[in-house]
Amino acid sequence: MTQETVKPQEKEALIELLYQLADDDFILSFRGSEWLGLAPHIEEDVAFSSISQDMMGHANLYYNLLEGLGEGDADKIAHLRSVEKFRNAIILEEVNGPGTYLKEPDYDWAFAVVRNYFYAVHKQIRLDSLRHSAYEPLAEAARKIMTEQYYHLMHWEIWFKQLMTSTDEAIKRMNTAIEKVWKDFGGVLTLGPSYADIVKANFIDDEAVMKKRWTNKMEAVFKEVGANYPGEPRMERGNGRNGVHTEDLKHALSTLSEVYATNPSTGW
């Protein structure tokens, strides 16, 4: 189906899904951009900033699909929605560590690697499914995104495996980060309250099926690096797909829209 042929009830579910996809990439790309100049070495600064830029591009593709469905101007929906209208998973909005990107950032590289790797694995699974989405413009976007996502996944996988099998200190820090991410990663794995309609319209595979694929992959990777699999990922702070968010998102959005919000009607 296309923009013209999507039925009203399906359209509502499609819009929900697109906000999840867009907001996940948008907010994690922002967190990535905060790392610029602070990564462990210059080569990583180059690679990570390239990944963040790609992800912003992916968010942009999804926001444009939303614009096509009558949700309003892509810039406006990216910058001016209120916090509870955001559909990203809570773990993706979490700050990189103490401090801000401008002042005294004590960012945690283990957290960056774990969050990005777990997300990249799921994003790959999600895109694999979206390639066959009943909504053709979404299937087409997914195919485009996959060409870049392949490298993102490889990048984070190398980091994850390397740090998980290195010094005792690295392993300890990585395990702390895994514990932290695990508490809320369940939020990435859900399609939220519109889940049944989203799946019924064949926009994407069932969340249970995708979650199983993610779990299988994670169990294999944990085994490979000799780590214990932590069991079921949780959603301790609530479900971002329901509009439940933390102060971290509020601050992020006020930064992201700082200039645009001064005059959204002018050209920038």
The contact set with another protein (CB under 8 A) reads: 30, 33-34, 36-43, 45-46, 49-50, 52-53, 56-57, 59-60, 63, 74-75, 78-79, 101-107, 109, 161-163, 165-167, 169-170, 173, 224-226, 252, 255-256, 258-260, 262-263, 266-268
Kindly report the CA angle at 171 between 165 and 176, in degrees rounded to 5?
145
Query: Is-contact 14 203, C-beta < 8 A?
Result: yes
Do 96 and 32 contact (CB within 8 A), yes or no? no
| Structure-token pair, residue 68 | 């096509």
Residue 255: CB minimum distance to another protein, A: 5
Indicate the residue among 163 and 198 with the shorter CB distance to another protein. 163
Signed CA dihedral, 249, 107, 223, 232: sign only: negative
Cβ 128 to another protein shortest distance, Å:
25
For the bound state, the minimum distance from the C-beta of residue 258 to another protein, rounded and expressed in Å, comes to 5
Compute the half-sphere exposure of residue 144: CA atoms within 13 Å on the CB side of its CA. Answer: 14
User: Given the complex with another protein, which of 15 and 38 has the nearer CB atom?
Assistant: 38
| Smallest separation (angstroms) from another protein to the CB of 206 | 31
CB of 153 to another protein, least distance (A): 18
Measured from the CB atom, the residue of 216 and 255 that comes closer to another protein is 255
**Both tokens of residue 171?**
């392993």
Convert 245-257 to b/e letters by CB count within 10 Å (16 or more is b).
Answer: bbebbeebbeebb
Of residues 172 and 234, the one with the C-beta less far from another protein: 172
Report the distance separating Cα 7 and Cα 163, nearest Å: 48
Closest CB to another protein among residues 15, 59: 59
